[in-house]
Amino acid sequence: MFRVCMKSAVAFSLLVFSLLVSSAFGQSVNANANPFERALTVMHTEPVPRYKPATSQDKLRWFVSCTLSRSRLFIVGPFSAGWGTLRNVPSEYGTHWVGFGKRNGMRLTGVATGNLIEASLGSVWGEDPRYFRSGRGGLGNRAKHVVKTTFLAPDRSGRWRTAYARYIGNVGNNFLSNTWRADSEANTSNAVVRCVWGACSDE
């Protein structure tokens, strides 16, 4: 059942990604397109209100916040490491405090690597990694904004574009970390699963 769910998640992610990429090359709204395609096109063309391009200091603050914020260091990281220690995954680390520390450190190095890749590559083509609030009330609007900001990021003009640097950072970090992960997790199938979870949990 778990493998079926993961395959479905991967297929869905690839479908959404392909639709976003295809819509990036045509910015006019096609009246004959289905509602989903029209929504994607509008998301690409609607700029961030009162947008100001990210400076080097902005990107450094983003990197530090997304890597070393208190919530990530004292809530998300320990919870993830604790869950892995309880389940003894990976088994090489064991179910003791040393294993907990190794799991927490492994997560932190992966997050830092992915964020560094995203910020560095994004600077090349003007992809802004920062999070921008919806500015609209209502649960529906906020839910749409969460989906939107998961797959898209503002360019230098504040218009939403496919977040290529974010995807590359997610995939790059999860495959690069195979070089220093425990042997039971250092394989392609586990890296793909981590990529899917990384995309789904992105802020």
Q: DSSP per residue over 13-30, as a string? A: HHHHHHHHHHHHT--SPP
Give me the residues paired with residue 159 across strands. 47
pLDDT score for 39: 59
Nearest-angstrom CA–CA distance, 24 and 56: 26
Smallest CA-to-CA distance from 103 within 21, 177, 170, 1 is with: 177
pLDDT score for 135: 72
Smallest CA-to-CA distance from 62 within 203, 185, 191 is with: 203
Structural contact between residues 46 and 38, judged by C-beta atoms closer than 8 angstroms: no
**Domain spans of the chain?**
2-200
Q: Please report, in tens digits, the pLDDT of each residue of the chain (203 residues total).
A: 444 344 444 444 544 444 444 444 344 445 565 665 555 565 556 788 899 999 999 999 999 999 999 999 999 999 999 999 999 999 999 999 999 999 999 999 999 999 999 999 999 999 999 999 887 777 887 888 888 888 899 999 999 999 999 999 999 999 999 999 999 999 999 999 999 888 776 65
pLDDT score for 105: 95
Indicate yes or no: pTM above 0.85.
no
Nearest-angstrom CA–CA distance, 168 and 184: 24
DSSP, res 172: H
Angstrom CA distances, 53 to 117, 128, 132, 156, stand at: 19, 8, 12, 6
pLDDT score for 197: 86
Angstrom CA distances, 140 to 45, 46, 57, 136, 154, stand at: 20, 18, 33, 10, 21
